[in-house]
Amino acid sequence: AAGLDAATRRLVAVLTRLLDRRAHWSDVRELHELALTTARRAGSGRQEAVALLNLGNLHVARDELEEALSCYRAALEVSRGLGDPAGEGRAMVNLGNAYADLGDLQRAADWYDRSLLLRRTIGDAAGQARVLSHLGRLHARMGRFEQSVRDHRAALGVRRRIGDPADIGRVLTDIAAVLGEAGRTQEALAVYRDALEAFRAAGDERLEALALLHSAELALDTGDVREARLRRRQALALLVDAGAPEADEVRRYLGDE
């Protein structure tokens, strides 16, 4: 039975990836509901929680946020019943995301804070970094730019301890974006330079290109049209080399200048 359950989980995972690309949403929903039924019949609480989170994510994609909240709350209760703090933390983040989508930013922040505390308790460093980044983006939406930068810098500290350069670069781009939004353009450009170095260390040409495009917008804000165009051309070369889908859009944009 355990082998059959594992095989069923693998089958559901494969079919989900295929259906997400090719099928109608109702087919994907039916598959997730099948996974939920299978998990409950097998008495697998962890798989039940995963299936509930997946169903919730599908509802979010359909802009059915109240239905998503119901799924996430159910997943949270299942994880609590299992004594699975990692599962609780995932459900809390999803609840925060859904409330943010609803525009209830304070309630979203409350759920993120709960998840952060839980992840610190269990020593989940990567989870802490993810939640801190969520908080940083949320506080930026609230116009609390200083708090947002603090959140992102805390996430950066965790990411640096973990040591993945691509993740370090992503957090640096978050910091630069907030600084730019706050009108601190020169600071933002300096942070983008650090992000570019991180993406080069990671060997990720696409992320390096996207950071160049964002920094080009800031260069344009300073009135440096030549520098902005240079950065866009550098980004285009990287996107073409990486075979990234954004290359055509950047090429068209440069052609219109």
The CATH code of the domain that includes 44 is 1.25.40.10
DSSP code of residue 23: S
12-21, 181-190, 206-215: segment of lowest average pLDDT = 12-21
6-20, 34-48, 177-191: segment of lowest average pLDDT = 6-20
- At 183 the pLDDT is 96
- Whether 129 is in a domain gets the answer no
* Spatial distance between the Cα atoms of 137 and 149, rounded to a whole number of angstroms: 9
Tokens of residue 219, six digits: 């260069």
- Whether 208 is in a domain gets the answer no
Output the CA torsion sign for 240, 243, 248, 253. negative
- Whether 214 is in a domain gets the answer no
Whether 35 has a pLDDT exceeding 90, the answer reads no
Phi, psi torsion values for 124, nearest 5 degrees: -90, 90
Number of compact structural domains in the chain: 1
Please state the pTM of the whole predicted model: 0.86
Share of the chain above pLDDT 90, in %: 77
| Among candidate residues 50, 112, 44, 41, the one with its CA nearest the CA of residue 75 | 50
- At 15 the pLDDT is 60
- Whether 173 is in a domain gets the answer no
pLDDT tens, residue by residue, 89-107: 999 999 999 999 999 999 9
